[in-house]
Structure 1
Amino acid sequence: MPAELLLGIDLGAGSLKATLIRTDGTVAGEASAAVTTLSPHPGWSEQDPAGWWAALTDAVPRAIAASGEQAGAILAISFSAGAHTQVLEDADGRVIRPAILWNDQRSAVETAELRAGHDARILEHGANRANPTWTLPQMLWLRRREPEAFARVRRMYLAKDWLRTRLTGGFETDTIDALGALMVDAATKTWSPELCGLIGWDMSTLPPIVEPTARAGAVTEAAAKVTGLVAGTPVICGTSDTAIETFGAGMVETGLGCVKLATAATVSVLSREPRVDRELINYYHVVPDHWYVITATNSCASAHRWLRDTLFPGESFAALDALATEAPRGSKGLLFHPYLNGERSPYWDPKLRADFVGLSFAHGRGEIVRALYEGIAYSLRDCTEVLRGRGLNFTTARITGGGARSATWRQIVADVLDATIELPATADASFGAALLAGVGIGVWPDPVTAAKQAVRIVARQQPDAEAVAAYDKGFRLYRQAQAALAPINHALVEAAR
């Protein structure tokens, strides 16, 4: 029998990954290519979209080669990328400036002004509150700080859509990614004149909105020549990375959580309705007529990489994981707050900063690494407490992201959250995008069926009662230290400016 494959392409913060899966959900081949993040000023985070396309044309042919199959075996393609990241083109189709990423903090002033003047209306219409990671305040920053660029915009793409249109020539986005721009009326799934009007945005620049599973064209002859794909291959719209990761992890039933240990870390739960709240993030889900509700911490794998590059240069992540595994629970009284780029849930404070608290001569390399693992888990506990306080509880959660490869880190998360943590065989965004491609062309009749048939659990960490009790005490100290240090963080940020 000839092979039948589905291709998922995910643009991450540090790399683009292409994954080919078979229609039983097993991985046939995969490849990734690095993308570069620019930070020309403190708190800025930008990427050149041309680098994304270069990464795609590198990774896709290598993923096909790794599968041992021909490109003609690919039934359909779909995409994902981080939410909120926009690409702006002028009348000639040229990219105007680097894309501002979701973790960029430059629009803190604009965010404060939007909250001061329009907080209730933005929350009512957009189901979310303005903060510096969203497109709305970022584009208000652009209007004020780069007015010539603002005036030249004729098309605004979201990141995965700009990549997809390189394959198809189309111009559309999906409901979930559109909501992430904070420029959509959540009740009607249409662009909101009121929200766009708050920043003077020309609505003619915005793409049509379709469902994530909608067909968005096919691979063109020109794109086929540079990607190794076959012209005419169907392309499914796709959606944002966290939506696709929760789907790819099998979070398709209410009461099941999902924890992501990626560049940032998130805690998500599935809900039949949005939970409009100043401390929560709401998105439509891939599962029809459902939402997923998120709380998030800004720095996770990014903090892990910072630690490795700064204090352990030349060492592998596996070596760091071994150090953390050998270190004792509680890291001999060492705490870490992972606020290297400010913080989202539950503080929504771009002026918070990271720290190690309690260092002494008793601490070695292992305690430092384990404290980072535990500190990020405590931050996830902070996020989880917000959800549980609103009745969005879970006792089992699927785990995704690069950090999920560490059994030690998974166990720490299970103990700190007091929840069973399940690891899917493959649950990154490119896998979820490949599943979505299958739903889009009818390999599976709906997302729930796709997840139930294709997602396999390969490891499970149960919370240990003794560890849960110890980490409860540690979490109280973590919060006390955060509260005590917050005003000092603010003063340090102002002094640095």
Structure 2
Amino acid sequence: MRSGAEAWLGIDLGTQGVRALLATVDGTVVGSGSAPLRHGRREGARHEQEPGEWWEAVCAAARQALPAGCRVSGLAVCGTSGTVLLTDPAGKPLGPALMYDDGRAGAEAAGLREDGLAVQDSWALPKVLWLLANGGGKVTHQPDVINARLAGHPVPTDSSHALKTAYDLGRDAWPEIPGVPADALPDVVRPGTRLGEVCPAAAEATGIPAGTPVIAGMTDGCAAQIASGALRPGAWNSVLGTTLVLKGAAAEPVHDPAGVVYNHRAPDGGWLPGGASSAGAGVLAARFPGADPAALDARAAAFEPSNAVAYPLVSPGERFPFRRPDATALLLGDPVSDADLWAALLQGVGFVERLCLDYLHHLGAPLDGPLTFTGGAARSAYWNQLRADILGRPARVPRQTEPALGMAALAAHGTGAAPTLADAADRMVHVRTVLDPRPDRTARFTEPYARLLDGLQARGWLPGPVAAHARARLEGNTAGS
């Protein structure tokens, strides 16, 4: 990049590694870097990582991402939603972090639900209760550790990461939480708030210039949503990786008494509703280890629809579009070949995606804006078109979909380069492909989708009103009323 040109740094704290990306206001990526996280501990329900390794990886990734002569006008950090730890008053970690999928707080989650709180086992609040039962400290979310190291002092958490720790976004306040002392909870600010500046010690460690504004970030799912550009009411981003996550934008929160859909809050006060399924592309690797996806995609095209209908859960239990801890992967019918089974799994993910959108419509969520496909599975042109056909609506595939780009856009907004976050994303996010559904193909999938609805309802997993609502929309698309 030319000397002195403005750019913003986004940092993504992932499960397997840290990614840093430097982008200009028009979305041009001028530097990137990454570093692995190799020393986490997975044993049964336990999944921990050491915060010190996060910092080492941030330092390595940032140094790779920063070309000589660049001007870093701001940075923001995202982390995995539900990852939490305890720190001392100075912000020093008191032990390892419990990662987003650590399962040791199941009893605490069940107790919270008995008390009337709609929480899921993977959320941060049950883990906080588990941690505090084993010692005291300050509740801290993953990016807070990095932001504190960058600024050289403890910082508030952002309301996006605090959501699954029971922060009340409507009141902008912590509720009274039994078992959690008020002084153990951090101060909270909205995403996009300036937290401080990169201190000299952090500048020496990371290569990020001292004085660079540090902006409060959002969760990795919200960061991916920003990178998709789905920030105006009615727009949705479908992130298909190991599992499926849908996140959208709305003027008002989407209320869900079942607690399946939850709402983040955007920096401008708007709402970002969404949910995370346990179905997704991970089932392909589990059923076909070492397979060539492109070759199987080509063979699967002969099975539209497949001879079988699948609900392709990656692991037991479902969270969205219904919550059933006892749900297991489902296959109705008998595939005649590996290609047929592959087709059933691809189509099954599309059916889950459709059911998620039908459920959102059942709740009154706005769905009339553009739909974007992101995530690792969006690299499959065949699967993208198949999903658009099943959903019966157009879909966009952006050129660059990394959560780190979303954080660069948030940093640009937080430092005043764009009046709103949506404006920043409009300038930085570019669409690579637009997929139009083929009506004849959409019609082919009506009957197998109805069969899946029947199968889910017969097992008691899908509530009757939701199934009825989805059936009423069988002849339409998933884009509106």
**Bin for the TM-score computed over the shorter chain:** 0.7 to 0.9
Aligned to 1:363: 337
Offset at residue 15 of structure 1 (A): 2.7
**CA separation of 1:73 and 1:248: change in aligned 2, threshold 3 A:** same
Other structure's SS at 1:185 match: coil
Offset at residue 332 of structure 1 (A): 3.6
Which structure has the highest helix share of the two?
Answer: 1
Q: Deviations over 1:355-376 (max 9, x none)?
A: 555445x212x33443332222
Amino acid at match of 1:40: E
Work out whether 1:475 is the aligned partner of 2:433.
no
Question: CA, structure 1 residues 268+483, in 2 after alignment: closer, same or farther (shift >3 Å)?
Answer: same
Equivalent position of 1:39 in the other structure: 42
Question: Deviations for 1:296-322, whole angstroms, at most 9, x for unmatched residues?
Answer: 202435444544xxx323x5xxx3133
User: Given the superposition, is the C-alpha separation of residues 164 and 330 from structure 1 closer, same or farther in structure 2, using an over 3 Å criterion?
Assistant: farther
Instruction: Please show how residues 214-253 of structure 1 align to structure 2 within 5 Å.
Output: 214-253=193-232
* Structure 1: runs of 5+ lacking an equivalent: 123-128, 488-497
Instruction: Report the TM-score when normalising by structure 2.
Output: 0.86
Q: Distance in 2 between matches of 1:359 and 1:220?
A: 62
2:83 alignment partner, one of 79, 82, 85:
85
Are the counterparts in 1 of residues 80 and 100 from structure 2 also a CA contact under 8 Å? Answer: yes
SS of match in other structure, 1:475: helix
1:185 matches 2:174: no
**Residue among 7, 10, 17 paired with 2:9:** 7
Aligned residue number for residue 168 of structure 1: 151
Q: Aligned letter for 1:160?
A: P
- 1:5 maps to a residue whose letter is A
Q: Are residue 461 (structure 1) and residue 450 (structure 2) matched?
A: no
The reply on whether 1:404 has 2:404 as its aligned counterpart is: no
Instruction: Note closer, same or farther for the CA distance 1:46–1:264 as it changes in structure 2 (3 Å cut).
Output: farther
Q: Call closer, same or farther: CA 1:104–1:352 in 2, change over 3 Å.
A: farther
Partner of 1:95: 93
Whole-Å separation in 1 of the counterparts to 2:439 and 2:203: 55
1:273-312 deviation digits (Å, cap 9, x = unpaired): 11221244332332512112112202435444544xxx32
What percent of counterpart residues are identical?
A: 28
Instruction: With the length of structure 1 as denominator, give the TM-score of the two structures.
Output: 0.84
Q: State the alpha-carbon separation in 2 of the partners of residues 482 and 105 from structure 1.
A: 26
- Runs of 4+ aligned structure 1 residues displaced above 6 Å come to none
Give matches, 1:175-214, under 5 Å: 175-182=159-166, 184-192=167-175, 194=176, 196=177, 198=178, 200-214=179-193
| Change in 2 beyond 3 A, CA 1:393/1:210 | closer
1:229-281 superposed Cα distances (whole Å, 9 cap, x missing partner) = 22222211111122222222222221222211134322223111112212443
Instruction: Give me the whole-angstrom Cα distance separating, in 1, the residues matched to 2:27 and 2:396.
Output: 17
Kept in 1, the 8 Å contact 2:158–2:190? The answer is yes
> Deviation at 1:464?
1.7
Listed one character per residue, the Cα deviations across residues 437-486 of structure 1 (whole Å, up to 9, x for unaligned) are 11111121221221222222110111222222222222223334445567
Post-superposition offset of 1:86: 0.8
SS at match of 1:213: coil
The corresponding residue for 2:475 is none
One-letter code of the match for 1:231? A
Cα pair distance change 1:410/1:216, threshold 3 Å: same
Aligned to 1:288, the other structure's residue is in SS state: coil
Deviation at 1:416, TM superposition (A): 2.2
Amino acid aligned to 2:168: D
Q: Which residue of 1 aligns with 2:324?
A: 349
- Contact 2:25–2:427 (Cα < 8 Å) also in 1: no
Identify if the C-alpha distance between structure 1 residues 346 and 234 changes in structure 2 by more than 3 Å, giving closer, same or farther: same
Task: Please state how far the C-alpha of 1:352 moved relative to its aligned partner.
Answer: 2.2
Tell me: CA distance 1:370–1:29, structure 2 relative to 1, closer, same or farther (3 Å). farther
Q: 1:271 aligns with which of 233, 237, 250?
A: 250
- Does 2:424 correspond to 1:435? no
Pair 1:97–1:416, CA change in 2 (3 A): farther
Match status 1:418 vs 2:402: no
The answer for the alignment partner of 1:255 in structure 2 is 234
Q: Tell whether 2:24 aligns with 1:17.
A: no
Q: Secondary structure at the match of 1:469?
A: helix
RMSD: 2.5
| Distance of aligned partners of 1:92 and 1:233 in 2 relative to their CA distance in 1, 3 Å threshold | closer
Q: Contact 1:8 / 1:437 at 8 angstroms: preserved in 2?
A: yes
Quick check: 2:91–2:148 contact (8 Å CA) kept in 1?
A: no
Task: Give the Cα–Cα distance (whole angstroms) in 2 for the partners of residues 50 and 485 of structure 1.
Answer: 46
Q: 1:140 aligns with which of 129, 153, 156?
A: 129
How many residue pairs get aligned? The number is 453
Tell me the SS of whatever aligns to 2:101: coil
Corresponding residue number in structure 2 for 1:125 = none
What is the distance in 1 between the residues matched to 2:356 and 2:214?
A: 35
1:394 to 367, 386, 411: 367
Distance in 2 (CA, whole Å) between partners of 1:218 and 1:174 is: 16
